[in-house]
Amino acid sequence: MTRASSLLGERAVYVVGIGLHPYGFPSETPYVQLGLHAVREALADAGMHWPQVRSAVVGTAALGMAAGRVMLRHLGSTGLEVLQVENASASGSTAFRIACLQVASGEHDVVLAMGVDKFGDGRRAVLKDGLTPLSPTANVPLVKFALLARRCMRDYGLTIEDMARVAVKNHGNAARNPYAQFRKPRTMAQVLASALVAGDLTAMQCCPRGEGAAAVIVVSEDALRRLGVPRERAVRVLSSVASSEALPANDAPALVELVRTSSAAALAQAGIGAKELDIVELHDAFTIEELLYTEAVGVCDAGEGALYVARGDADIGGRCAINPSGGLIGMGHPLGPTGIGQVAEIARQLRGEADGRQHPGARLALAHMIGLGSVAVAHVLARA
């Protein structure tokens, strides 16, 4: 496949440092403590010092104004550029995209991209748009995906067990991830027996909300050499794409079409095909999403999402590991950090450093995140 033109194709961009604060349930821990833990871990991983960072892009959805500067000044006031980004679930992914483009453009050669969040008040702009909703649940994501799951069961023959199998896989992956919010493997019986929350979706088929932080350091080729970072621990960013929902030309759900078009654009920009991917980290806030999005990305053929999981193709060690971190369902979904956490997991996997959950021979990966609105942000990364 021919690589589409992009800044990232003209100027190499690398992830060289990763760090996380474990995701968890809401606590009294200040967000500053969560965020600085992740940043310090990323700096140590890269073998760098804070004054070497020339820009910081902070993704957060619930903390309020100026959270980034308030937090980062505790590392020292160095005069660096600080940006704060809110893009719902895609806040961290958007922060990472901006960091990559800053490096690719030559604006900066060492940039921190991070996400941090605590639970917050959860109030969304759609609830303040001045319009009377069609129903009290019209803007509730849980209800939206429960209805989508019911539609797929009716039209495509999906079963409750098909969806539950995704949760079993992702809880199992999360049990091997020291940064995950849920650290216990779950059986099919446990997933199906957990409380019904909407339609056919049980509690263990839905992601938790909580808190946490994730950070990555992005550098140019020149900075990679100047800083002496071992090339084998650098992960190259091949593409970065952002888009929003459009009206589909067919009867497919608009969100599924958004995943299809955005992932296709990211893969084209990287010059690879979907079936070349070894790892995909994607938005699985509800189990039905992973089944539909795996097909939409093209990792498996249309109509084969459930079979792909049932055969073990989506397992760590399978054809393409889907959400080896545990995904949103197992690792957690604190919003701001989620997309950065995906990139950190992919970098760890591509380096061969994901102890206890390493996907063998991983060399190409896709990080794909969607956010309310709906928006999509996708990145393809490769082992250097």
Q: What is the pLDDT of residue 122?
A: 58
Structural contact between residues 344 and 177, judged by C-beta atoms closer than 8 angstroms:
no
Distance CA 336, CA 88 (A): 7
Q: What is the pLDDT of residue 25?
A: 96
Distance CA 62, CA 227 (A): 35
Backbone angles phi, psi at 87, to 5 degrees: -150, 45
Q: What is the pLDDT of residue 203?
A: 97
Q: What is the pLDDT of residue 384?
A: 86
How many Cβ atoms sit within 10 Å of the Cβ of residue 155? 9
Best CA proximity match to 146, nearest among 200, 183, 182, 195: 200
Report, in angstroms and rounded to the nearest whole number, the Rg of the chain calculated over CA atoms: 19
> What is the CATH number assigned to the segment(s) 7-121+209-235?
3.40.47.10
**pLDDT tens for residues 339-357?**
999 999 999 999 999 999 9
Q: What is the pLDDT of residue 6?
A: 82
Q: What is the pLDDT of residue 51?
A: 97
Best CA proximity match to 331, nearest among 160, 169, 149, 114: 169
User: How is residue 256 written in tokens?
Assistant: 């599924």
Pseudo-torsion of CA 31, 108, 384, 91, nearest 10°?
A: 40
Three-class SS state of 147:
helix
Q: What is the pLDDT of residue 257?
A: 96
Distance CA 26, CA 97 (A): 28
Which residues in the chain show pLDDT less than 50? none
Best CA proximity match to 84, nearest among 107, 103, 60: 60
**pLDDT tens for residues 197-218?**
999 999 999 999 899 999 999 9
How many Cβ atoms sit within 10 Å of the Cβ of residue 371? 23
Backbone angles phi, psi at 214, to 5 degrees: -145, 145
**pLDDT tens for residues 228-262?**
999 999 999 999 999 999 988 888 899 999 999 99
Q: Report the half-sphere exposure of 108 (CA within 13 A, side-chain side).
A: 21
Structural contact between residues 340 and 215, judged by C-beta atoms closer than 8 angstroms:
yes
Q: In the chain, which segments carry CATH 3.40.47.10? A: 7-121+209-235, 136-202+237-383
Class of domain 136-202+237-383: alpha beta
Residue whose pair of structure tokens reads 């109509």 in the numeric block: 303
Distance CA 349, CA 337 (A): 18
Distance CA 145, CA 287 (A): 9
**Cβ burial, residue 162 (10 Å; 0-12/13-18/19+):** buried
User: How is residue 198 written in tokens?
Assistant: 């909407």
Structural contact between residues 331 and 186, judged by C-beta atoms closer than 8 angstroms:
no
Q: What is the pLDDT of residue 252?
A: 83
